[in-house]
Amino acid sequence: MEHQPPPFFKRGPAPLAQLSFYAALSLALIFIDSRFQTLELLRQGMSLFTHPLQQAAHAPADYLQNAGSYFSSISHFQDENSRLKRAQLNGAETLLRTRQLEAENERLRKLLDVKGRQQANGRVAQILYAARDPFSRRVIVDKGQQDKIVAGQPVVDDAGVVGQVTRVFPFVSEITLITDKDQAVPVQIVRNGLRSVVFGLGNGQLELRFMPANADVQKGDLLVTSGLDGIFLPGFPVAKVVQIERDTSYSFARIYCVPLAGVENFGEVMVLDPREPIVLPPQLTHETATTLVKPLAKPGAKKKRLKKE
């Protein structure tokens, strides 16, 4: 060791040593992040550095967009205005009656001694941009920890469920869309009350999985949230059935749906407040807590329900 001549240039550790160090570090990060999700603090810290740069990068696009809307003609806005007015008038009678119906429903529930339904409250957030990750379908909205957003909050727009908040940063938060691969939403068919879970396919479509081949599902059926997950309030429209393949060689039907909400659009969304936790009667808490939290109904249970109907 001592007899070696001093190095001419300082080069630091050998390249292979550096490579193994950094590769091991990255692999450890990948493993920890995908298994334990404990790196959120590091992510939030780094986002304080990347967020301003991202905003700076988005500024030119925003300016162009603003300039475009500035120069769009008056007639365009007049058209839009009259269309929105008409839409509001069309919805007015249902909306006005809804209030009365909700009050009536509340009163009846009280009479029957059933717990009242939680009102849907939330805050409007603007979609800033779609996350750059080409493997997933996520968007970033402009409300974050500053606005007391927490992970898990459901997100809806004017037509239905958009997704769920999955990650919260100081100023922005990240929403996983319902069309993201394997993103699950427990739903119910409006026509017959059949419960199931709808999964994202990753290509903009949804799939109703684990439905028996003879399940009572028709093309055009409307799916709403069942609320069994304890996250989504029941009754929000989610998707519409567009295609059913009943193949006897498979035990399940392949049922494809399209989301009702403008999932791939950019605009405003409503981040709903977290749902109140479901309170179970004391004797049930012990046995059924697990089954209530995981609403993946077994196909056998569904068959029984079908026969009953």
Partner 1 sequence: MPATFSSSRILQPVRPLFILVSLLAALALNFLPTSAWSWMPDWVALVIVFWSIREPRRVGMGTGFILGLAMDVADSSVMGQHALAYVLAAYAASALSRRIMWFPLGQQALHVLPLLLLVQAVQFAVRVVPGVTLPGFSYFVGPLIGALLWWPLTFVLLLPQYQPVDRDANRPI
Return residues touching partner 1 (CB under 8 A): 9, 11, 15, 18-19, 22-23, 25-30, 32-34, 39, 42-43, 46-47, 49-50, 53-54, 56-58, 61, 129-136, 138, 140, 167, 174, 181-182, 202
CB 29, min distance to partner 1, A: 3
Closer Cβ to partner 1, 19 or 95, answer by number: 19
CB 167, min distance to partner 1, A: 6
Q: Which residues contact 234 (CB under 8 A, 6 or more apart)?
A: 117, 188, 224, 225, 226, 227
CA distance 109 to 106: 5
Burial of 296: CB neighbours in 10 Å, binned 0-12, 13-18, 19+: middle
CA distance 149 to 273: 8
Closer Cβ to partner 1, 34 or 249, answer by number: 34
CA distance 93 to 99: 10
β-pairing verdict for 237-245 and 254-259: antiparallel
Q: Which of 271, 257, 273 is nearest to 156 (CA)?
A: 271
Task: Quote the tokens at residue 11.
Answer: 């080069």
CB 10, min distance to partner 1, A: 9
Closer Cβ to partner 1, 116 or 204, answer by number: 204
CB 122, min distance to partner 1, A: 22
CB 12, min distance to partner 1, A: 8
Closer Cβ to partner 1, 138 or 302, answer by number: 138
Closer Cβ to partner 1, 33 or 147, answer by number: 33
